[in-house]
Amino acid sequence: MLEIKNLHAAVEGTEILKGIDLTVRDGEVHAVMGPNGSGKSTLARVLAGQEAYVVTQGQVLFNGQDLLEMDPEERAREGVFMAFQYPVEIPGVSNTYFLKAALNAVRKHRGLLEMDALEFLTMVRQKMKLVQMEETLLNRPVNEGFSGGEKKRNEIFHMAVLEPSLCILDETDSGLDIDALRIVADGVNALRSKDRSFLVITHYQRLLNYIVPDYVHVLVDGRFVRSGGKELALELEEKGYSWLENLAAAPVGA
């Protein structure tokens, strides 16, 4: 699904990612953990195509295609989805209609017919239940006046509707209380399937109690300093990031 080879990226001239290698196969869930400023969110945004992040070296293949050559909207239509750490409020644009326009752009790209209003609404109602979204949030403008938890749920709801094959969760757990976290995680888990992969970016191990990863990678100063199974997250929780931060100077091959 996703192959990242020796990825380097910079923001405003400062190199943040310093050589990332990662292979994500169909259906796998990879967690990327790391202290603040390690480059976790940069990795997510580079993959989603935010222009402020400049790739200086390396390659990213998504289903064999050069992902870095694609515009953000092309990536989305090809099946990449990023749930934002800070979802944007868009007054005057209804959550439902916006989603319908996005879905139709994606479907058109995939050679599918546009959904009619009834079909769309039926589907949307069903997906809402995954994240226990209230119907009122459908009719409101995108994220406008939503609480922090509602915004994160809305991200997962968008994901459920757009049915991407690669889902990137950028610190989706930040700012969520335990109940909201559980709802979001349940939504994500319901979307796990053998053809859908996840890259779960988080600072805390807590989320991984609910979304259990196949692999955990620890990012320190722009490099993976250790990769392992889900138990690595628990070990990290116990020992803290300082345990691995001194390994950053002499990185272990990922």
Assign 46 to helix, strand or coil. helix
Distance of closest approach, residue 143 Cβ to other proteins, in angstroms? 9
- In whole angstroms, the minimum distance from the beta carbon of 56 to other proteins comes to 20
C-beta closer to other proteins: residue 88 or 178 = 88
Closest contact distance (angstroms) between CB of 39 and other proteins is 18
| CB 245, CB 37: distance < 8 Å | no
CB nearer to other proteins: give 94 or 227.
94
User: How far is the C-alpha of 32 from the C-alpha of 125, rounded, in Å?
Assistant: 32
CA separation for the pair 10, 42 (Å, rounded): 9
Nearer to other proteins, 67 or 162 (CB): 162
Binding site for other proteins (CB under 8 A): 48-52, 71-73, 75-77, 81-82, 84, 87-88, 90-94, 97-106, 109, 141, 158, 162
For other proteins, which is the closer residue by CB, 91 or 240? 91
Shortest Å, Cβ 92 to other proteins = 2
- What residue type is 252 in one-letter code? V
The minimum distance between CB 55 and other proteins, in angstroms, equals 16
Q: Are 54 and 11 in contact (CB under 8 A)?
A: yes
Strands 65-66 and 90-94: unpaired
State both tokens at 120.
């769309």
Measure the CA–CA gap between 61 and 7, rounded to whole angstroms. 11
Rank residues 96 and 227 by Cβ distance to other proteins and give the closer one.
96
The residue (of 108 and 182) whose beta carbon lies closer to other proteins is 108
Main-chain dihedrals φ then ψ at residue 62, nearest 5 degrees: -120, 115
Least Å distance, CB 90 to other proteins, is 5
Name the residue nearer to other proteins (CB basis): 53 or 215. 53
Token pair belonging to 109: 């790209």
Contact 247, 13 (CB under 8 A): no
Task: Please report how close the Cβ of residue 132 comes to other proteins at its closest, in angstroms.
Answer: 21
The token pair that represents 40 in the structure block: 């976790």
SS3 content of the chain, % helix, strand, coil (to 5): 40, 30, 30
The answer to whether the CB of 7 falls within 8 A of the CB of 58 is yes
